[in-house]
Amino acid sequence: MIIPLNMAEPVLIARGKDAAHALGFAPHGAGRNFTRTEHRRRMGTITPEAQLAAEIQGLDIRFYGGEVDSSELPSSYKRADAVVAQIGEYGLAEIEDYIDPFGCIMAGNMPYRGQKRRPRAA
């Protein structure tokens, strides 16, 4: 299975153990350290652009919505080493390999955010 983490850390390639206690373990990512609102609050006065630059040295990170979404920064998610440790602690999978990131395209704050979306035409 492929387990993406935050945009600045490796993607995990893992083999599930099919352990009964794992309940079909299939993570979709690292999981958040805080809610989106709490992460923004903890950033204080630093701008999302400055925080992004501090967290992603050497990576090509783009936001589809055109602006940096601070709630998607690497610091809003668990660190890879913590996720790997939890996977091992609970015997959920075996980490087979890591894929180092070169870049990432995030949805980010979309233009319609805060507005009601119209239903798609059939």
DSSP codes, 24-41: S----S--BSS-HHHHHH
Structural domain count of the chain? 1
Give me the domain span that covers residue 58. 2-106
% of the chain beyond a pLDDT of 90 = 21
Residues 87, 111: Cα–Cα separation, whole Å: 37
Does 122 map to a domain?
Answer: no
pLDDT in tens, 26-66: 666 678 888 888 888 988 899 999 999 999 989 999 888 78
Dump pLDDT digits (tens) for 77-104: 888 898 899 888 888 888 999 999 998 8
**Residue 17 has what DSSP assignment?**
-
> What confidence score (pLDDT) does residue 40 get?
87
Higher-confidence residue: 24 or 43? 43
> What does the pLDDT read at residue 69?
86
pLDDT of res. 117: 53
Query: Average per-residue pLDDT in the chain?
Result: 82
Residue 120 belongs to some domain of the structure: no
| Beta strands per DSSP E along 28-122 | 60-63, 93-99, 103-106
In a domain, 114, yes or no: no
Whether 49 is in a domain gets the answer yes
pTM: 0.72
Distance of alpha carbon 26 from alpha carbon 31, whole angstroms: 13
Assigned domain for 111 exists: no
